[in-house]
Structure 1
Amino acid sequence: MLHTYFQKQIEKILAQGGIHVNGSDPWDMQVHDNRLFQRILTQGNLGLGEAYMDGWWECQALDQFFFRVLRSKAQDNIVSPSIIFSALIGRLFNLQARSRAFTVGEQHYNIGNELFQGMLDSNMHYSCAYWKNTDKLSIAQENKLRLVFNKLMLQPGQRVLDIGCGWGGAAKFAAEHYGVEVTGITVSSEQVKVAQERCKGLPVKIKLIDYRALDGVFDRIYSIGMFEHVGHKNYRNYFDIIKNLLATDGLFLLQTIGGNESVSSTDPWIGKYIFPNSMLPSASQITNAFEGLLVLEDWHVFSHDYYLTLKTWNDNFQQHCSRFNGHYAARFCRMWRYYLLSCAGAFLARTLQLWQLLLSHQGIVGPFRVEREI
């Protein structure tokens, strides 16, 4: 039968990563519908992800499955029309134009605060934690904030801008522990509601605007997990805006997921189901974008910490789903598990990276040592 041919092709590809179809290892693929093999070969990761959502296949250790696929580069053997189409669209059009800025807020961050409350730590930090000397998510997230604010050398009374403030956890922490005034912006109306309530009584303003609508001057600027929505056609303009907003003696910290190669689009499955219009920058795309505008003071890599963060989020989400049995559709739960664990596997394989960059307006004069302790 034709599916036998397709199956042999997939088995050959997966074998490069030590993965077997219907094998006994936890990272092996358990197939429930033989149409899967043709779907993967013709649709790539979009078909693989949708087939998982449809229950066509299962895997006990999904993060390990993706680790082995990506580490062995097995995915390079499949070039589907969806990948080619996404890359072409990303080159031709500005998918992250100002007119489309609120799409990701509406389709991802607004899907339900209850979901994120169940998955994240109590302060709802939706970005990589810093797992130094701890195995608790709440402490690891606080570690990350101290890492960020210590690098920025926050001082009481400074004016601080938080680009992509989420549910307000970082702005609240900065105001409470460092005595600064914070303006936080987001494209999610649900995040604004929570952040404003959380920061009530503090010198914190939360605004529902795109970063391109900002004005003013700030002593410090940081952006944690937002740059992934900027897009390669807007990188230069993004850093030009940062330069114009930053005081001449100011500092800017950027925390972002990155990729090892320069691309013009995101993974088709991620773009369709999780983060519309998203795109991961490469190191060269970032440096080319700020060259001549800002000065690099430090580049910190701690990619494995995102693997630990995503694994913990998945554990929390699975417990949350079990407590709210029937509240979430089975297909949605499978989609969310696929999202968290496929990304976890990519960080473990180091095809995804986690970076913190510290930049200054015109270069720090004299002795300077970047603070990495917490």
Structure 2
Amino acid sequence: MADAASRLTALAEESLSQPLPVRIRAWDGSESGPPGAPVLVIRRRRALRRLLWKPGELGLARAWVAGDIDIEGDLYEALGRLAGLLWDRDPEDSVHPVRDPRARAFARGLLRIAGPWPPPAPPGEEVRRRSGPLHTRRRDRQAVSHHYDVGNDFYALVLGPSLVYSCAYWRDGGTLEEAQRDKLDLVCRKLALREGDRLLDVGCGWGSMAIHAARHHGARVTGITLSREQAALARKRVADEGLTDRVEIRVQDYRDVDDGPYDAISSIGMAEHVGSVRYREYADDLYALLKPGGRLLNHQIARRPEKDEDAYRIDAFIDAYVFPDGELAPLGRTLTLLEEAGFEARDVESLREHYALTLRRWVANLEQHWERAVRATSPGRARVWRLYMTASALSFEHNQIGVNQILAVRPTDDGGSGMPLRARRWTASAGDA
């Protein structure tokens, strides 16, 4: 194969009707494309066969996870340049794989370069085909295990000492650990936690929120997770902090909690796993577990509304490699379902830019500790996390997705909320809520 890079560049530009925004370096050592641009390294011809057999995002993701392709240079810049070709194209402008002659010509040209071998097997990190109803207890346990049970040591390298896997709350300067502490304290103040209050932390992760609420606000906390690895480390951290009399960690589905009422509920970065078919049930269950006048803090990633919501499709890479069965909903839809369950929404705060900053710190941690991270999990899994966190940071920065804290109240029988007249007093200092 002589000068594969030039052949691939010409083929791609003819199909796209525009210049490629990155250079290509092929397996034969040849290069083509704009000088000084990030380099898409195609290490093996197998990468092209992945695209032939699974055109689009999933084929590219398989090639990335398997190490068949890589980026030389700034990954953020490379993904930003490629976004218009891969993710930001209007569906009406996309080529149809059967009807569009450009797509057929591209496939024929790729076949001549790639060779007529059978499709390569997907990388082992990919979730196998699933069947049956979405978001049953069993299927949710499997999905959570895929994402979270990849090694506590791996997550400690990426997340840092705070072990908080959700958007931090940044002030001017400061470390990731300080920003995560400020986020946890913001949640506690929005919930107006007081000494002896019962807090249910839904999706408690490695116990950071439960520990903070107990140590700094005197709450009695029940934390629940479906991840056994998370629960084991969370219990150890609680014991090391001397808080076993105030914090209980359970491996339990939110649908099976029956020991309410609670004074407050925190759900931080968990509701994305619930799914549209179960979201009203989720809202109903949390409402039933709160005492009248109790508060819910729902911290959740949101997508932008689609012109045709029925046409919405889950991201193929995220579903196959990151969050199986995970779904993002528009903010308005989430608010509507919470209100239909009986909640009164009292405050919504967007933390979109904060999540972009958080993700960039996580990516930096992963890159800094790359060899250790690979040993803690696998090369493919580490590559999955690097790609998804980098792409997610760009999505938050470009306002393609957001993240919001919704503070809601279960009203008392006479309609009372117990909220202060100055709705955002919690932003001033601890104890003002």
1:270 to 318, 337, 340: 318
Alpha-carbon separation, structure 1, partners of 2:252 and 2:360: 31
Which deviates more, 29-38 or 313-322? 29-38
User: 1:351-362 residue pairs with structure 2 within 5 A?
Assistant: 351-362=400-411
How big is the alpha-carbon RMSD for the aligned residues of Structure 1 and Structure 2? 3.0
2:61 to 43, 46, 49: 49
Q: Deviations for 1:34-71, whole angstroms, at most 9, x for unmatched residues?
A: 76498289532212222222332425222333345557
The amino acid of 2:292's aligned partner reads: T
User: 1:142-161 residue pairs with structure 2 within 5 A?
Assistant: 142-161=181-200
The amino acid of 1:241's aligned partner reads: D
On the 8 A contact 1:265/1:279 being kept in 2, the answer is no
Q: Which protein shows a greater Rg?
A: 2
Quick check: 1:65 aligned with 2:78? yes
Aligned-pair identity in percent equals 31
Higher relative contact order (CA 8 A, sep 6+): 1
Alpha-carbon separation, structure 1, partners of 2:250 and 2:350: 30
SS at match of 1:102: helix
TM-score by length of 1: 0.87
Alpha-carbon separation, structure 2, partners of 1:306 and 1:149: 19
1:115 to 154, 161, 180: 154
TM-score by length of 2: 0.75
Measured after TM superposition, the shift of residue 368 of structure 1 is 3.7
Alpha-carbon separation, structure 2, partners of 1:141 and 1:327: 24
How many residue pairs end up in the alignment? 364
Q: Which runs of 5+ in 2 are unaligned?
A: 25-32, 98-128
Residue 7 of structure 1 corresponds to 12
Residue 222 of structure 1 corresponds to 266
Quickly say closer, same or farther: Cα 1:261–1:226, change in 2 above 3 A.
Answer: same
Alpha-carbon separation, structure 1, partners of 2:40 and 2:358: 24
User: 1:138-287 residue pairs with structure 2 within 5 A?
Assistant: 138-200=177-239, 201-202=242-243, 203-215=246-258, 216-261=260-305, 265-287=313-335
The amino acid of 2:334's aligned partner reads: I
The amino acid of 2:423's aligned partner reads: R
Quickly say closer, same or farther: Cα 1:118–1:38, change in 2 above 3 A.
Answer: closer
Alpha-carbon separation, structure 2, partners of 1:234 and 1:325: 35
Q: Deviations for 1:125-161, whole angstroms, at most 9, x for unmatched residues?
A: 0111111123310001001111111111111110001
Residue 346 of structure 2 corresponds to 297
1:349 to 398, 408, 413: 398
Which deviates more, 106-115 or 158-167? 106-115
Q: Deviations for 1:335-359, whole angstroms, at most 9, x for unmatched residues?
A: 2211211111111111111111000
Which deviates more, 186-195 or 332-341? 332-341
Measured after TM superposition, the shift of residue 212 of structure 1 is 0.6
Alpha-carbon separation, structure 1, partners of 2:90 and 2:145: 31
The amino acid of 2:319's aligned partner reads: G
On the 8 A contact 2:151/2:376 being kept in 1, the answer is no
Measured after TM superposition, the shift of residue 251 of structure 1 is 0.6
Residue 101 of structure 2 corresponds to none
Residue 85 of structure 1 corresponds to none
On the 8 A contact 2:187/2:297 being kept in 1, the answer is yes
Q: Deviations for 1:301-339, whole angstroms, at most 9, x for unmatched residues?
A: 111111111111111112222346756543333222112
Q: Which runs of 5+ in 1 are unaligned?
A: 82-88
Quick check: 1:308 aligned with 2:308? no
Alpha-carbon separation, structure 2, partners of 1:98 and 1:67: 38
Quickly say closer, same or farther: Cα 1:143–1:327, change in 2 above 3 A.
Answer: closer
